[in-house]
Amino acid sequence: MTRFTPAAIVLLALVNTAFAQSYPNRPITLTVSTTPGASPDLIARLFGQALSGALKTPVVIENKGGANGQIAVAAVAQAAPDGYSFLATTGATLTTNPALYPKTGQLVVSAFTPVTRFAHQDFIITARPSLNVRSLAELKEWTKKNPGKLNVATTALGSLAYLTAQLFKQAASLDFVTIPHNGGGLAVGAVLGDHADLLVETVSLSRPHIESGKLIPIATTGPRRSAFLPDVPTLKELGLEGCETSGWTAMVAPKDTPSAIIALIQGELAKSAKSDEVKKKLADLSAEPVVNTPEEFARELREERAMWGRVIKQAGIKLE
């Protein structure tokens, strides 16, 4: 382990500060781990545009979707830690991949340093109206009377929606079969068509169908009630501890990126998150800003990686 003298620590701090003062002097690349038009991409572009205006330099968006974010992870992990390359990705990529992909998923832990979260989108559990279930208590009663018959639609195996369903199943001690679909639209369609009983999806995808009466809300999964569905209780309110999850988008940097650069970027993003324009555009996606410090973000990453590791192990999910 390298030990620095007090003089060396002061020198490093001065170098770090001098670097930040001349930064940036060329375009910044923000690699996004999803395809263009997906919610994480739209959120990343929104904050990238705000950052570009604040720093008066172009922020170039590069989409490298696929493999649950691992293509983008591998690309940015090789970039120089000079403050000109960042990764915008999802909570699933950063917190579940280490357990889902034991051989290759550890790269998100070893090769990056946290910058900040951008925003989060709560998940919500909904039911088809013909199930005649309108609460968690009624759902539990239904499963007792109909053992082994309940099924839940989510997005792909290993997705955060799929894993949220497994967490809900474990916490509520419910007996159901989770049916993964290739995309949220297909999962929604399965429930609307009475081919599945419950849906676990984001509020943004579910809300229009709730408002039209085609889906019955049971509970949201966030730490507090959704601002977009304030009448729907959280799982925590209903007595299920340890079920707080959300789909979120965040920024990380290659390991050893100067701390002064990290602080500058996070500070500007935090300012932008308070603007009415950013709040409105996030609200259009049923998302809320959550721009936290690198230290807070690092703690959340540790906690969520541990939680999802337990859920994935108990569910016996292996993707590699």
Domains and CATH numbers, the chain: 26-121+248-315 (3.40.190.150), 122-220 (3.40.190.10)
pLDDT average, residue stretch 19-25: 78
Cβ neighbour number for residue 137 with a 10 Å cutoff: 11
Compute how many other C-beta atoms are within 10 angstroms of the C-beta atom of residue 48: 23
Q: Is the pLDDT of residue 165 over 80?
A: yes
- % of the chain exceeding 70 in pLDDT: 93
For residue 114, the surrounding DSSP H or E stretch is strand 112-127
At 38 the pLDDT is: 87
68: confidence class by pLDDT, cuts 50, 70, 90: confident
Higher per-residue confidence, 318 vs 248: 248
Residue of 14 and 182 predicted with greater confidence: 182
- The answer to whether 96 touches 308, Cβ cutoff 8 Å, is yes
pLDDT at 8: 43
What local confidence, expressed as pLDDT, does residue 19 receive? Answer: 54
- Report how far Cα 235 is from the mean position of its chain's Cα atoms: 18
Distance CA 92, CA 69 (A): 8
Q: Summarize the confidence of residues 19-32 as an average pLDDT.
A: 88
Considering only 257-261, 292-296, 297-301, 313-317, which range has the smallest mean pLDDT? Answer: 313-317
Residue 179 has pLDDT above 70, yes or no: yes
pLDDT for the residue numbered 18: 53
pLDDT of residue 300: 96
Amino acid 248: pLDDT: 94
Work out the average pLDDT over 130-141. Answer: 96
In the DSSP assignment, the letter for residue 233 is P
pTM of the model: 0.86
